[in-house]
């Protein structure tokens, strides 16, 4: 897609969305960022993005957002356990796609998830609804599209950490592929630059277990991170009453049974992105003070 064209980024305040905003601007595109609340827009404006207020769950707010855009990048994510996976991950994206089609948008790039259509992933609302929308997008005839299926976000490693200890449910002995949100955003920008179409699995150079991942980032910061593995079953009872816990339990049960790994070649060969390693990411995180 030609430089100078306007691209709407949905989910622009998230890690992947904000990274995509930076890389699209750096590649010479005009960027319009869709946000639900104006107070979240300051950093996006500082980057040079135009900001528009709208909500993908309210279709009548999307017309002004897509008007005049040549492309849309959706990095929408409900997140595990929020209870709105279907309204955001599926219906929200469908609303966005329909608005884009009505406005004559020619390109739609979607950030999904690795193994979203795996049989065991059907128990995880976030994955199930992503796979559902992938099918909808694949049937679209008025827009060319690319579906990005990133592996495990490196940023996910921060979630189970409590001081020097990481609590990772399940045994998690199967390999996982890791990728930074920054590299996913970079790949999204390349999808527009290179007019990439089809479905692509994205992963960085590291393919290792959770324990090995913590060891690598720990080495980067000269810190020891102890990994404990409470049984997934221990989350079952509270999961009946707290949706977040139940959804996370199903997600980790999925990873425990199936792993979460893929070939890293596509990111480099198709998108031209040389992804950072866990060690390099860990060094950045320690320098930023996120891990103390």
Mind listing the pLDDT tens digit for each residue in 101-157? 999 999 999 999 999 999 999 989 899 999 999 999 999 988 999 999 999 999 999
Residue 285 has pLDDT above 70, yes or no: yes
**17-26, 170-179, 229-238: which has the minimum mean pLDDT?**
229-238
**Residue listed under structure tokens 């991942």:** 213
How much of the chain exceeds pLDDT 90, in percent?
A: 81
Question: What mean pLDDT value characterizes the chain?
Answer: 93
pLDDT at 256 over 80: yes
pLDDT given for residue 239 in this prediction: 57
Neighbours of 190 (CB within 10 A): 20
What pTM value is reported for the model?
0.94
The pLDDT assigned to 292 comes to 60
Q: How confident is the model at residue 288 (pLDDT cuts 50, 70, 90)?
A: confident
DSSP 9-42: EETTTSHHHHHHHHHHHHTT-EEEEEES-GGG-H
Q: Which residues of 204-237 are buried (b: 16+ CB within 10 A; e: fewer)?
A: bbbbbbbbebbbbbbebbeeebebebeebeebee
d(CA 112, CA 146): 10
Tell me the pLDDT tens digit for each residue of 24-52. Answer: 999 999 999 999 988 888 999 999 999 99
Q: How far apart are CA 45 and CA 268, in angstroms?
A: 30
Q: How far apart are CA 128 and CA 32, in angstroms?
A: 28
Q: What are the pLDDT digits (tens) for 191-203?
A: 999 999 999 999 9
In which element (H, E) is residue 95 found?
A: helix 93-102
Are the C-beta atoms of 192 and 24 separated by less than 8 Å?
yes
Alpha carbons 179 and 184: distance in angstroms, whole number: 7
All structural domains of the chain, each given as residue ranges with its CATH number in brackets, are 6-288 (3.40.50.720)
Strand locations in 49-93, DSSP E?
50-53, 71-74
Which of 75, 3, 67, 86 minimizes the C-alpha distance to 35?
75
Average pLDDT over residues 159-169: 93
Question: pLDDT category, 81, cuts 50, 70, 90?
Answer: very low
């Amino acid at each position: 897609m030609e430089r100078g064209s306007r691209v709407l980024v949905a989910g622009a305040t998230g890690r992947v969305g904000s990274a995509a905003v930076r890389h699209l601007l750096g590649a010479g595109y005009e960027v319009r960022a869709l946000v639900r609340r104006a107070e979240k827009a300051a950093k996006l404006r500082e980057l040079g993005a135009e900001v528009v207020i709208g909500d993908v769950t309210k279709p009548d707010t999307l017309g002004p957002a897509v008007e005049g855009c040549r492309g849309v990048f959706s990095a929408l994510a409900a997140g595990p356990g929020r209870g709105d996976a279907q309204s955001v991950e599926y219906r929200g994206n469908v609303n966005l796609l329909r608005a884009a089609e009505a406005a004559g948008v020619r390109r739609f790039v979607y950030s999904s998830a690795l193994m979203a259509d795996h049989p065991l992933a059907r128990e995880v609302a976030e994955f199930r609804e992503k796979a559902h929308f992938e099918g909808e997008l694949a049937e679209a005839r008025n827009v060319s599209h690319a579906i990005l299926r990133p592996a495990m976000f490196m940023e996910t490693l921060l979630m189970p950490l409590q001081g020097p200890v990481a609590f990772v449910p399940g045994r998690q002995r199967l390999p996982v592929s890791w990728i930074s949100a920054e590299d996913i955003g970079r790949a999204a920008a390349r999808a527009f630059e290179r007019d990439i179409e089809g479905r692509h699995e994205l992963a960085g150079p590291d393919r290792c277990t959770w324990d090995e991942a913590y060891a690598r980032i720990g080495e980067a910061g000269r810190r020891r991170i102890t990994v404990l593995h409470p049984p997934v079953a221990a989350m079952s009872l509270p999961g009946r009453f707290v949706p977040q816990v139940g959804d996370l339990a199903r997600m980790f049960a999925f990873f425990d049974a199936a792993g979460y790994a893929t070939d890293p070649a596509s990111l480099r060969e198709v998108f031209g992105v040389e992804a950072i390693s866990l060690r390099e990411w860990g060094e950045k995180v320690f320098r930023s003070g996120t891990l103390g």
